[in-house]
Amino acid sequence: MSRAFARTVVCHRALLPRHVRLVALRWALVTCALTAAISSILFACLLLAAVRIHDDVGLQMGSKLQLLEHNPQIVFAGDSRTQEQVDPVLAAKLLGKPFGYAINIGVPGEDPIAILAAVNRHLEQFRHVDLIVNLSPYNINDGIKKDFFYPSTVIARLGLLQQMRIFLPSHIDTLVWFIQDAFLDASYQHGFPRLRSEPASQLGFEPIPGRIVVEQPSAAGAPQRYRDFLGSLVGPFEGHPYYRDWQPSGIKAQSVKTALCALRPLVKRLFVVLPPWAPIQPLVHSSVWRDRDAEFEHIATTFAKDCHFDLLPIANVDNLAIEHFSDETHVNKLGATIYTSYLLGRLGYRTGDDAS
């Protein structure tokens, strides 16, 4: 190889003059600022539009309200801890009543504001109904701002500046979820789709068949580990989303109380249930968990006193063991049979009784 080919040739680009580079930088910064401003304005407009078209009765609940055509005397409502845990067909059988005497309109994330909207929309059907609503800690916890745990019904009642202050920048995904949810529900403004045949045949009950699995320690002295029906590790309990960043005296708590007070005169009887947790030893022995659970019950008791409804806190059910839970929060299909029977007894119903 000749020396000519062996040479390394280095090409130098001529630098632009300093004033040209400064002008280019200024234009780049202005473009970024304009893009950010326009994006913010468009996002704010989407939020305002979502609030305007928001419906407190969401798609899933709207479909379940078709079960009112059975003219039920008992309606179980609330979040997934009603949807997956209370069997209305079994409840009717235990009471010696026909199919449709009780229904389950529970939906994941459903809160008392949504239930109030449903009742107001069907006042005649609910006027002579016993309404049994479950309440979960995240319903009153302002600290958990994640989508689903911060209901769209509350977000819709916040002003634009409040929405920005609460959720930006770390929880913008919650506002995106709210916008998507609002536009999806609005697409069914002329009528909700029919409820699928399986939940309809069970009058809204949608149980989970899986169970918590207990893993024995691999070494002496190591603690047991628990996995839910999806295989996810259960715990640590202090970071559970229901109690995460516990702030129980803010906007959500006031909204829940207002809705429950408004619900009471619209139905025959109103019961609010605080469902039990899985009897997992680390949870049972956690002082932080016990303190927060006690505070939650105290707040619910205050609501009950001020709003004149019946409160039923359930710390545990003797016949419910770990194998009757799908995770630390929900009973599974097998546990639902035990829980439904227990719940009716605690509410004062007896076999052969009606809802009077």
> Domains of the chain: which residue ranges?
73-146+197-346
Task: Judge whether residue 110 has pLDDT over 80.
Answer: yes
Parallel, antiparallel or unpaired: strands 225-227 and 213-215: antiparallel
CATH number of 73-146+197-346: 3.40.50.1110
Least confident of 70-74, 284-288, 312-316, 319-323: 284-288
Task: Judge whether residue 49 has pLDDT over 50.
Answer: yes
Task: Judge whether residue 271 has pLDDT over 50.
Answer: yes
pLDDT given for residue 53 in this prediction: 94
**Model pTM greater than 0.85?**
yes
Q: How much is the average pLDDT of 75-82?
A: 97
Query: 121-147 pLDDT, tens per residue?
Result: 999 999 999 999 999 999 999 999 998
Task: Judge whether residue 244 has pLDDT over 80.
Answer: yes
Query: 310-336 pLDDT, tens per residue?
Result: 999 999 898 999 999 999 999 999 999
Task: Judge whether residue 353 has pLDDT over 60.
Answer: no
* Strand residue runs (E) in the chain: 74-77, 102-104, 130-134, 213-215, 225-227, 269-274, 310-313
Max mean pLDDT among 36-40, 60-64, 188-192 falls in: 60-64
pLDDT given for residue 286 in this prediction: 85
What lies within 8 Å, CB to CB, of 321 at 6+ separation is 279
In 3D space, the residue among 289, 275, 279, 291 whose CA is nearest the CA of residue 346 turns out to be 275
